[in-house]
């Protein structure tokens, strides 16, 4: 497995290569969720590339960029064992050299949910992902459904800018107790870790209500809030029942797929999770 740190090296390997390339962009500190993306990429492409880059432009000034967990050697070993062909792990200075001033803004779909609470977050995500796509030139790119709005923003960007690749969303990988895998789970103390599965319990309660025939979006949100309030360590940032395509919050029953999503603080750690109802 080759590890490249410069754009020039990646361009060189890409020019020499024929056949399909699957790409998994990551911020490192890899877990089973990332390895599931790698396996999906391997099953559908001749070669697989992964990027590891903690992207400063998607973190707000009060967010955890400096303390975001990093473990490059461990990540590289995991990727080597997973049969990845090459890794792109650039420095911040290489991706954002002096004078950098070009950003990608995906408008409406970035504005609600996470975008409303994390101003500038999706501008940072869209910018770095567009730049990575330009450098890596993949045929298919793989993202976790856990970041549902991120997937929607990237799909929109790829469509609107006619980028020549497919975006593939892979189902969320969960711990046995339902907690969605995330690099940020590492911030949780044992007590907070024990509290964290309440997010999935809340989503599951709303799904059970939906499967029982409930169609009022407010009742679905209420079902999530009711479960979340049973956990004293959980502080709700938002719960949402939105149209799964536009991500606009629903105020009336809908026959279209619904994205249930939430952000909840457990201690200082902000956890997100989601489920889609009425799909397929």
* Shortest spacing between CB 190 and ligand PAF, in angstroms: 25
CB of 274 to ligand PAF, least distance (A): 14
Q: Which is nearer to ligand PAF, 58 or 137 (CB)?
A: 58
Distance CA 105, CA 57 (A): 12
Specify the residue, 28 or 217, whose C-beta has the smaller distance to ligand PAF.
28
Give CA–CA dist 98/29, Å, rounded.
Answer: 27
Residues at the interface with ligand PAF (CB under 6 A): 25-27, 55, 58, 125, 128-129, 147, 150
Nearest distance in Å: CB 202, ligand PAF: 23
Nearer to ligand PAF by C-beta: 152 or 206?
152
Q: How far is the CB of 32 from ligand PAF (least distance, A)?
A: 14
How many angstroms separate the CA atoms of 128 and 22, rounded? 17
Q: Please state the closest distance from residue 121 (CB atom) to ligand PAF, in A.
A: 9
From 34, 94, 121, 159, the catalytic residue = 34
Is 34 a catalytic site residue? Answer: yes
* Closest to ligand PAF by CB, 56 or 267: 56
| Closest distance to ligand PAF from the beta carbon of 252 (Å) | 32
Asked whether the beta carbons of 220 and 241 are under 8 A apart, the reply is yes
In three state form, how does the secondary structure of the chain look?
CEEECCHHHHHHHHHHCCCCEEEEEECCCCCHHHHHHHHHHHHHCCEEEEEECCCHHHCCCCCCCCCCCCCHHHHHHHHHHCCCCEEECCCHHHHCCCCCCCCCCCCHHHCCHHHHHCCCHHHHHHHHHHHHHHHHCCCEEEEECCCHHHHHHHHHHHHHCCCCCEEEEECCCECCCCCECCHHHHHCCHHHHHHCCHHHHHHHHHHHHHHCCCCCHHHHHHHHHHHHCCCCCEEEEEEEEEECCCCCECCCCCCCCEEEEEEEEECCEEEEEEEEECCC
* Residues taking part in catalysis: 34
């Amino acid at each position: 497995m080759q590890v490249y740190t410069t754009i020039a090296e990646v361009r060189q390997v890409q020019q020499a290569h024929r056949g399909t390339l699957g790409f998994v962009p990551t911020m490192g500190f890899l877990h089973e969720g990332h390895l599931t993306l790698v396996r999906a990429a391997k099953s559908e492409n001749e070669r697989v590339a992964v990027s590891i880059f903690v992207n400063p432009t998607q973190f707000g000034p009060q967010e955890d960029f400096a303390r975001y967990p990093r473990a490059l050697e461990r990540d590289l070993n995991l990727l080597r064992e997973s049969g990845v062909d090459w890794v792109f792990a650039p420095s911040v200075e290489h991706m954002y050299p002096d004078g950098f001033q070009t950003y990608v803004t995906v408008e409406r779909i970035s504005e609600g949910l996470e975008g409303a609470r994390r101003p500038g977050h999706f501008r940072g995500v869209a910018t770095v992902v567009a730049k990575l796509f330009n450098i890596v030139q993949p045929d298919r790119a793989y993202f976790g459904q856990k970041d549902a709005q991120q997937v929607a923003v990237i799909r929109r960007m790829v469509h609107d800018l006619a980028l020549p690749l497919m975006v593939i969303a892979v189902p969320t990988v969960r711990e046995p107790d339902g907690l969605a895998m995330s690099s940020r789970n590492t911030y949780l103390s044992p007590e907070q870790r024990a509290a964290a599965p309440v997010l999935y319990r809340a989503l599951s309660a709303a799904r059970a209500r939906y499967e029982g025939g409930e169609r009022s979006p407010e009742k679905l949100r209420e079902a999530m809030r009711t479960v979340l309030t049973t956990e004293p360590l959980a502080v709700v940032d938002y719960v949402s029942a939105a149209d799964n395509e536009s991500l606009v919050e629903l105020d009336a029953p809908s026959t279209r797929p619904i994205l249930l999503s939430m952000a909840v603080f457990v201690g200082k750690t902000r956890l997100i999770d989601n489920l889609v109802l009425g799909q397929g």
